[in-house]
Structure 1
Amino acid sequence: MAADMELAHVTECNVVGCGYNHDGCHASAITVGGHGVNAKCATFIPLGTKGGLDRVITTVGACQRGDCVHNDSLECVADSVRVGAASESNVAGCLTYQVRSA
């Protein structure tokens, strides 16, 4: 992995209950985590308070899912990332996550 690689951009977030999502994700970077078959946005904050920056292009700062095809040394190398409702209620999921084949 190159030291000057560009971080994956979050191009979509449709999770209504997140404090960072107001007309798109306004966190400077997200962390993808979780266990099992669902990759979760670990930056998700279920608050009514508006968070984040007014103008930002959100990136994936870290990916804890070593089993994802887009993970290279805990960095996301996908072209872009989509965040949306996970199978569990009130949880943000990484919709770009794909399990690496054995």
Structure 2
Amino acid sequence: MPTVAPITSCSTTTCAFNHEGCTAFAVTIGGTGTCSTLINLDARGGLPVAEAHVGACQRLECVHNKDLMCSAEGIALGPDTAACLTYEAR
């Protein structure tokens, strides 16, 4: 069974799930390489701790993508669009 990659950092300050780290249960990395779970609201939500993981990854050309799961040891998400900074082309 594959392991799920943790979100090691997220610098997207406008996301409602980013409160000193990603508090979503899991995120989806969309086909454009950005976090599809990103939601810009004035409220903060999610779990009480920052322990999010990659639930699914749609970047088929990434070396870490194994059966739509992220096999990286962890990923970092960048500012503004929450781009996956761990992405690496095959």
Which is richer in strand?
1
CA distance in 1, matches of 2:21, 2:11: 7
Larger radius of gyration: 1
| Higher RCO (C-alpha 8 Å, min separation 6) | 2
Give the TM-score of the pair, scaled to structure 1.
0.83
Q: How many residues align?
A: 90
Alignment partner of 1:79 out of 73, 80, 89:
73
CA distance in 2, matches of 1:91, 1:56: 19
Any idea what the Cα deviations from partners look like across 1:32-79, whole Å, max 9, x if unmatched? 0133xxx10111001111110102411100001101000001000001
Alignment partner of 1:96 out of 80, 86, 90:
86
1:68 is matched with 62
Give the TM-score of the pair, scaled to structure 2.
0.93
Where structure 1 has 5 or more consecutive residues not aligned to the other structure, the ranges are: none
Q: Percent sequence identity over matched residues? A: 44
Which is richer in helix?
2
Moved over 6 A (4+): none
